[in-house]
């Protein structure tokens, strides 16, 4: 297994630990997926192959509603997050460093630095007051909260994309008679696009996966897929949750692979 070319960088035992880590990292997930196809109830004893848990999960109205709600929130939140993050990235990169810039940077990355439970509690306090004051109980709160903590995830790839972009391209465009708007339309925007799409996907995945903030912000009957699953896990273990998990996993892997290919293919 060990590549002789890198013998100089080989450290005793490291390869063994690394391979073990990879195996242990995937084993639980693999088991989860495998047992979503179990014919029986058990998540440990194999009773034969069956698809029964997938239709079973889907026939559950609560699952359907939670899925639909999760997708709605993730779509709205990731679009909002990507839009504001793209604008902020354009406003903060590739120019002389100022104090204001690091303030913006700090604000945008703030959700990454504060423990999720703290943000969740703070939002509960804030939104419960507003809910009482306005009487509005809709998905708006969840969308705002999700958009806020998804913004740093959208911002990072866009910023990286902008920073790797040659500054002289915009200068060249101005030199070739393009107005500010034309430069943005024909040069900056097309070049930023892969970063923005990557950011959109990361934001979508992040929103789709959130448990804690959703749990505290949601009004009664606003379960998303993860909060529904959390409630199920507490109650009883059934392979239905495995089936839902497997589908969510699949979606994440597809989005991540797309993200990966998108950011790798740099011209």
Partner 1 sequence: MTADPKARAEVRRGWLLSAPALVLLAVGATGPLLIMLVYSFLEPGQYGNVEWVLSFKAWFNVIMNRDIFDGTLTFADAHLSIFWRSAKLALLTTFFAFITGFPTAWFIATRSPGMRTALLFLITIPFWTNLLIRTFAINQIIRNEGFLNTFLLWTGIIKEPIVMLYTDFAVFIGMTYVYLPLMVLPLFATIDRFDMRLLQAGYDLYASRWQLLRYVIVPVVKPGIISGSILVFIPALGAYVTPRILGGGRNMMIGNFIELQFGQGRNWPLGAALSVVLLVIVSVALIVYTRFATSGGNKHHG
Partner 2 sequence: MSHDIAVEARDARKVYGQGIGAVTALGGVSLQIRKGEFFTLLGPSGCGKTTLLKLIAGFESPTTGHILLDGSDITFDPPNERPVNTVFQSYALFPHLSVADNIGFGLKMQGRPKAEVAATVTRMLALVRLDKMADRKPGQLSGGQQQRVALARALAPSPKVLLLDEPLSALDLQLRKEMQIELKRLQVETGITFIFVTHDQEEALTMSDRIGVMQSGHLLQVGDPRTIYTRPANRFVASFIGESNFLTGTLDGTALTLDAGPRMSVEAGQGAPTQGRVTAAIRPEQIRITSATLGDGIPAKVTQTVYFGTDTHCRVVLKDGTEITVRLQSPASGDVGLHPGSEVTLKFEPGALIVLPEAA
Residues near partner 2 (CB under 8 A) are 166, 168-169, 171-179, 182, 186-187, 190-191, 267
Contact 93, 159 (CB under 8 A): yes
**Per-residue binding letters, 220-239, with partner 1 (x by CB under 8 A):** ------x--xx--x---x--
State the binding partner of 126 from partner 2, partner 1, none, CB within 5 to 8 A by kind.
partner 1
Show the tokens assigned to 248. 């969510």
Contact 214, 231 (CB under 8 A): no
Distance CA 142, CA 77 (A): 9
Contact 249, 205 (CB under 8 A): no
CB of 194 to partner 2, least distance (A): 10
State the binding partner of 178 from partner 2, partner 1, none, CB within 5 to 8 A by kind.
partner 2
Asked whether the CA dihedral 203, 206, 115, 195 is positive or negative, the reply is negative
Stretch that binds partner 1, among 52-60, 142-150, 157-165, 192-200 (CB under 8 A): 142-150
CB of 175 to partner 2, least distance (A): 5
| CB of 102 or CB of 164, closer to partner 2 | 164
According to CB under 8 A, which one of 139, 160, 211, 262 is a site residue for partner 1?
Answer: 211
Nearest in space to 239 (alpha carbons), one of 111, 78, 57, 105: 57
CB of 134 to partner 1, least distance (A): 14
3-state secondary structure of 130: helix
| CB of 174 or CB of 215, closer to partner 2 | 174
Indicate whether 43 belongs to the interface with partner 1 (CB under 8 A): yes
Residues with Cβ within 8 Å of 90's Cβ and at least 6 positions away in sequence, in order, are 162, 188, 192
| CB of 6 or CB of 177, closer to partner 2 | 177
Residues with Cβ within 8 Å of 76's Cβ and at least 6 positions away in sequence, in order, are 139, 143, 146, 147
| CB of 170 or CB of 240, closer to partner 2 | 170
CB of 15 to partner 1, least distance (A): 6
Burial 223-258 (b: 16+ CB within 10 A, else e): bbbbbbbbebeeeeebbbbbbbbbbbeeeeeebeee
| CB of 56 or CB of 116, closer to partner 1 | 116
State the binding partner of 231 from partner 2, partner 1, none, CB within 5 to 8 A by kind.
none
**How many CB atoms neighbour CB 92 within 10 A?**
20
Indicate whether 139 belongs to the interface with partner 1 (CB under 8 A): no
Indicate whether 54 belongs to the interface with partner 1 (CB under 8 A): no
């Amino acid at each position: 297994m060990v590549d002789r070319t890198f013998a100089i960088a080989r450290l005793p035992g490291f390869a063994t630990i690394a391979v073990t880590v990879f195996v242990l990292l995937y084993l639980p997930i693999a088991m989860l997926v495998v047992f979503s196809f179990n014919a029986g109830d058990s998540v440990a004893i194999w009773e034969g192959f069956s698809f029964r848990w997938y239709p079973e999960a889907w026939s559950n109205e609560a699952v359907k509603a939670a899925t639909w709600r999760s997708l709605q929130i993730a779509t709205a939140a990731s679009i909002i997050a990507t839009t504001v993050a793209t604008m902020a990235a354009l406003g903060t990169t590739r120019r002389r460093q100022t104090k204001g810039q690091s303030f913006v940077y700090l604000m945008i990355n703030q959700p990454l630095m504060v423990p999720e439970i703290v943000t969740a509690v703070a939002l509960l306090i804030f939104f419960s007051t507003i809910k009482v004051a306005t009487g509005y109980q809709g998905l708006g709160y969840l969308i705002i909260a999700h958009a806020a903590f998804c913004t740093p995830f959208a911002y990072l790839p866009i910023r990286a994309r902008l920073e790797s972009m040659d500054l002289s391209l915009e200068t060249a465009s101005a030199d070739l008679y393009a107005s500010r708007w034309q430069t943005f339309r024909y040069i900056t925007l097309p070049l930023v696009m892969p970063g923005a799409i990557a950011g959109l996907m990361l934001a979508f995945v992040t929103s789709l996966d959130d448990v804690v903030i959703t749990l505290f912000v949601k009004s009664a009957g606003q379960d998303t897929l993860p909060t529904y699953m959390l409630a199920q896990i507490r109650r009883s273990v059934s392979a239905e949750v495995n089936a839902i998990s497997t589908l969510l996993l699949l979606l994440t892997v597809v989005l991540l692979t797309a993200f990966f290919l998108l950011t790798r293919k740099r011209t």
